[in-house]
Amino acid sequence: MARQRTEPAGRQAELEALRWDGRRPALTVVCGATGSGKTTLLARTCRELRESGFVVLEVTRTAECPDWDLFGAQALLGAIREQFEQIGADPRVVESIDLVSRLCTAESYDSPWQKFCLLSALGTLFGRIGAHRPVALVVDDADRIPQPMLALAPVHRAGHYVVASCTSEMLGQQPELCALADRVIELGPLADEDLGSLLKRVAHEPVDDAARRALQDSLGPLYRNPGTLVSTLAELRSQGRLVVLGGHLCLRDPGAPIGLPAGHELLTAVAGYGELGRNLVILSASGAGFGVDDVPVLADATGLPALDYGHAIDGLVLAGVLDSDVTGRLRCRCPALGTAVTEQAGEDVVRGLHRAMADQLLDTAKHCGRNQSVLAGHVAAAGRSLPARPELAALLRDDEIHVEPARHIEYRYAAWWHSEAGTVRSRLQSEVVRLLVHTAGYARLAAFVAEVVERAGAEAAFDDQARAELSAAAALSAIHCGQPVPAFVRDALVPAEPDGPLAFADSWFAGEPVVLDQVAAAFAPTWLHHWSSPTALDGRTRQPRPSAARVEAGCAHRDLVPVFESVLGSDYRAPTEGPVAIYHRVFRGYTDGDWASALSAARELGLTPGADDLALRCARLLAAEMCWWRGEDRQARDWLDAVPDDGVFPALRAWVSIGFRYHTGDVDGAFEEGWNSYRVHAESVDEPGAARLLVRLASIAMESGRNHAARRILAEVDSRYDRRGRGRSAETALLVRGFVEGDPVSIRAAERLVRERGEQLDLTIACQMVGRIAGEPRPWLEEAYQLASAIGATRLTARTRYSMKRCGVAPLRRDRRAELSGLDLQIIELIRQGKTNRQIAVALRMSAKTVEKHLTRLFAKAGCRTRHGLATSDLGGKLESIGA
């Protein structure tokens, strides 16, 4: 693993402990796991010592240190020679250097007397150094020196400051070094705040939440190890998986496995045991599992000695590669380790190893009790590499109940593979399809349907039930994966109904509107007729169907998840991967007020192959709206500019655009743009973009005193929508009437419909409206304030505070410091001290451009536009002050 030299992330307490006042000798030992940041910390310490006037003798990890040089004398001499001019041309120092150089040979270490003379010469040398300036010796990776205590003790006795780093394991093996040290500093895992600082410094951009989660899930306990984290990011960048989008560093396909980078010390430890280490890691990382009791079977299956496997297990556990529980089961220390080893080995080797284990268990007839479960696990993991054996199908079905649900599909598929043609295989085929839909395994479902068709042959003759099931499965997998149904699959499944699943898939990829009745007609007959028998319920969890409002919004915005939940019921599970799943997270996050997750999903969607173009445009427009309310102007403009003016969502785009213009003071331009856009596209305008646009136009007209224009908008809304209807149409009509006529009954009715729909931004605005006309505005405005704060809409929070001020309502007492990061608080304090951006940048070790970005967000949170406004605001205080 390559070492990265940079500023240490966090570690302020450790840096403070390493600062020396020079009043007495000191030996400080810095210990920590490999990659914990020891080298970076020592480099910073060397720089600070030099700035304090020390002569720093630095022994880096690349310094020459032969195995025979027990005291590391050659490395010490190299450090002295590099700083010779700083030390001073004292003839006695030159004499001592020559003496140590002559004595430092392999032959001297063979003689006890010569060793003693060398040790004495080192003591004399360091006693003569430092007559004019204080001296510090800094040794990185002191554990490379065979006897580090004897190397450091002479320097310590001479009165110099000594800092040495070593791994935590080495410190345990060298107790005398710990006893000699005046202080031992242990570098533990990085704290959350320091992790964020390190990621941003290395990535040069904020890291997307999905990328953070993927790294944390893959690296496990090593996620907080700076060396591992930095080198893994470098590896991902070299693979082209990191890209900047929406002002954040994003990971392409965050659901794909992440492996440790080549050269990582754990991979080096595995490679040291050759095929033994590789086999042990592959099996320990697999779902089939591996324990010390399985070593004899592995030895017979691979032809390698069981004793060698035992020694390899001991070594890998000691090296931190494998962990062992009380039952003897072995596991990889982190998923990324298993991923790296299995990817290096290749799929054929991995499946071949499981097949060898299964063959060995079958040949020795030892599959009884626990061995039966072990056999089933390896049979399932071997997949198609193991020739079909019908007797294994029953074994797999019986043992499936003993494994975690995530592996059920692996067992069910293997049972299908090994079953004989006929009723049993047909039933298992239907179960595999149903289970893959229920577990949202759509990529695997697409592969399974293709395999069924290929296995059936060129003249496949499916009965009506099988054709219906496979057609529905092919359509669902194609839509969720963003890839049209392959031609050979479609040909094998004809004739298909003109309004069946394959026809709906065609209409989806053609960009046609989503209509609930069409979805139900395409899937419900097949689903309800074939898949709702009592046996189809095994493993399902009943879940409530989505509300009519959510289904209506899903159809309008091309969010298929609530639509399929409504049609297919509990057999359908919301997916976690693929373009449909990612867009669902965008729209659901926007609606529910989880805007950070929604924006992360919008960035991920832009990097996802097969994403629906219309859904992608809608996601970008929603992202632009969210960023604007959050005070992220540049990102908001970038998202909006990514959607063409002449696209398929003209009203939705105009809704976002006029919001930008209005809130930046261009009232006339905002109204004219919005009204012209609506008039041009009035007949074919998209829904619900038209509803959003008309509501915003009415709000702008009333707030800017355009009463005539507001009446014109109300007339348009009355002709287009029915107040006595239901859903979004009635909500729009009631909201606009409430705006224009100040009708409290209409506004309250609209607020109830908005609350039922659950869109947090619209609910916040509706609560503001009710608060402005209510006799008791406090509860409505307080709810609006809490909602705006919860979703992170800083501009909306500022507007709500303004409404509260006008109505004489003071926000609740609370600590607004909770809204701010530690960095935000530091910037505010420096602003109050009168510091310029450049001075703040120097004080906080960041660029002036980064300071400007933080100030933009702080201005939005404070509801001001100037540094004076920020300095005199209540940000960072205990009370929301409302002026008279």
- Identify the sign of the CA torsion 269, 270, 276, 282: positive
What is 388-408 written as a DSSP string?
Answer: P-THHHHHHHHHGGGS-GGGH
Q: The tokens of 691 are what?
A: 């509803």
The predicted pLDDT at position 91 comes to 83
Q: Cα separation of 53 and 697, whole Å?
A: 68
For every residue of 565-626, which 3-state class applies, written as one string? Answer: HHHHHHHCCCCCCCHHHHHHHHHHHHHHCCHHHHHHHHHHHHCCCCCCHHHHHHHHHHHHHH
- Matching residue, tokens 């406004």: 869
Neighbours of 457 (CB within 10 A): 9
Q: The tokens of 428 are what?
A: 């298992």
Partner residues linked to 251 by β-bridges: 242
Residue type, 824: D
Q: Strand order in 329-332's β-sheet?
A: 290-291, 329-332, 322-324
Q: Cα separation of 433 and 513, whole Å?
A: 27
Distances (CA, A) of 812 to 225, 771, 783, 882: 41, 16, 11, 11
Distances (CA, A) of 126 to 25, 133, 288: 13, 13, 59
Q: Angle 794-807/760-773 helices, nearest 10 degrees?
A: 10
Per the omega criterion (within 30 degrees of 0), is the bond before 405 cis?
A: no
Partner residues linked to 244 by β-bridges: 249
- At 332, phi and psi to the nearest 5? -70, 145
Whether the CB-CB separation of 860 and 796 falls below 8 Å is answered with: no
Q: What are the helix (H) ranges across 111-243?
A: 112-128, 148-157, 168-173, 175-180, 192-203, 209-219, 226-238
Give the DSSP letter of residue 2: -
pTM for the model: 0.81
Q: Which of 546, 547, 483, 555 is CA-nearest to residue 512?
A: 555
* CA angle (181, 183, 189) in 5-degree steps: 120
Partner residues linked to 57 by β-bridges: 137
The predicted pLDDT at position 458 comes to 59
Q: Cα separation of 286 and 36, whole Å?
A: 28
Half-sphere exposure of 67 (CA within 13 A, CB side): 0
Q: Cα separation of 611 and 253, whole Å?
A: 12
- At 121, phi and psi to the nearest 5? -65, -35
For residue 409, how far is the Cα from the chain centroid?
26
What is 742-774 written as a DSSP string?
Answer: --HHHHHHHHHHHHHHT-HHHHHHHHHHHHHHS
Q: Cα separation of 164 and 173, whole Å?
A: 15
For residue 726, how far is the Cα from the chain centroid?
40
Phi/psi-derived region of residue 792, left when phi > 0, alpha when psi is between -120 and 50, beta in every other case: left
Q: Which helix (H) or strand (E) holds 138?
A: strand 135-139
Whether the CB-CB separation of 66 and 59 falls below 8 Å is answered with: no
The predicted pLDDT at position 26 comes to 84
Q: Cα separation of 730 and 753, whole Å?
A: 8
The predicted pLDDT at position 502 comes to 93
For every residue of 469-535, which 3-state class applies, written as one string? Answer: HHHHHHHHHHHHHCCCCCHHHHHHHCCCCCCCHHHHHHHHHCCCCCCHHHHHHHHHHHHHHHHCCHH
Neighbours of 818 (CB within 10 A): 7
Question: What does the pLDDT look like over 87-115, one tens digit per residue?
Answer: 876 788 888 889 988 998 888 888 889 98
Q: The tokens of 239 are what?
A: 């693979």
Whether the CB-CB separation of 793 and 629 falls below 8 Å is answered with: yes
Whether the CB-CB separation of 75 and 145 falls below 8 Å is answered with: yes
Q: The tokens of 196 are what?
A: 């964020």
- Identify the sign of the CA torsion 299, 304, 306, 312: negative
Q: The tokens of 133 are what?
A: 């300036």
- Regions of the chain with pLDDT less than 70: 1-10, 21-25, 89, 131, 170-174, 365-370, 458-460, 495-497, 528-543, 684-687, 722-726, 811-819, 845, 863-865, 874, 876-884
Which residues does 504 contact at the CB level (< 8 Å), separation at least 6?
A: 475, 518, 519, 522, 523
Q: The tokens of 878 are what?
A: 């205990």
Whether the CB-CB separation of 71 and 147 falls below 8 Å is answered with: yes
Q: Cα separation of 229 and 231, whole Å?
A: 6
Whether the CB-CB separation of 721 and 729 falls below 8 Å is answered with: yes
Distances (CA, A) of 846 to 573, 631, 632, 830, 866: 45, 21, 19, 14, 21
- Matching residue, tokens 């953070």: 212
Residues making up the chain, counted from first to last = 884
Distances (CA, A) of 235 to 230, 462, 840: 9, 48, 33
Phi/psi-derived region of residue 602, left when phi > 0, alpha when psi is between -120 and 50, beta in every other case: alpha
Partner residues linked to 139 by β-bridges: 59, 164
Neighbours of 115 (CB within 10 A): 17
